[in-house]
Amino acid sequence: MRGYQQSDITGRNGNSNGHPYYAKYTVELRYPLSLNPNSTIYAQIFAEGGNSWGSFDEFNPFDVRRTAGVGLRIFLPMFGMLGFDYGIGFDKTRPTNSTGSYLSDKARFSVVLGVEPE
């Protein structure tokens, strides 16, 4: 999920191997800035919610971590889809030794190359 490190979602309860059960909900709104076939450019805003669980007994589709942010998608025929996202993870815990601002502790910049992850 944009706005979180992978270990923030799958590394809970001391399990660093990931979890087999997950739920992810995504809403995106894209606005075309350029519809030129040689370089199509979209600005977007997004909101996501998701989580993972180690067993089916723990699964709760309403216990999600939330994130929202803005992004830019550029489609170049030579490279495919290039994406730049800035997401803010609302449910991140703030590190105790943090010296940065509240927003810098919760936000994350991510780059998508090629096919967007689902």
**pLDDT tens, residue by residue, 21-32:** 888 999 999 999
Look up the domain containing 41 and give its range: 6-113
Residue 64 within any structural domain of the chain: yes
pLDDT for residue 41? 96
Phi, psi values for residue 46, rounded to 5°: -145, 160
Whether 46 has a pLDDT exceeding 70, the answer reads yes
Residue 118 within any structural domain of the chain: no
- Which residues have a Cβ under 8 Å from the Cβ of 111 and sit 6 or more positions away? 82, 83, 84, 85
Alpha helices in the chain (DSSP H): 6-10, 102-106
Both structure tokens of 115: 């096919």
Are 31 and 41 spatial neighbours (Cβ–Cβ below 8 Å)? no
Residue 46 within any structural domain of the chain: yes
pLDDT for residue 1? 81
Residue 1 within any structural domain of the chain: no
**Domains held by the chain: number:** 1
pTM above 0.75, yes or no: yes
pLDDT for residue 48? 94
Q: What counts of helices (H) and strands (E) characterise the chain? A: 2, 5
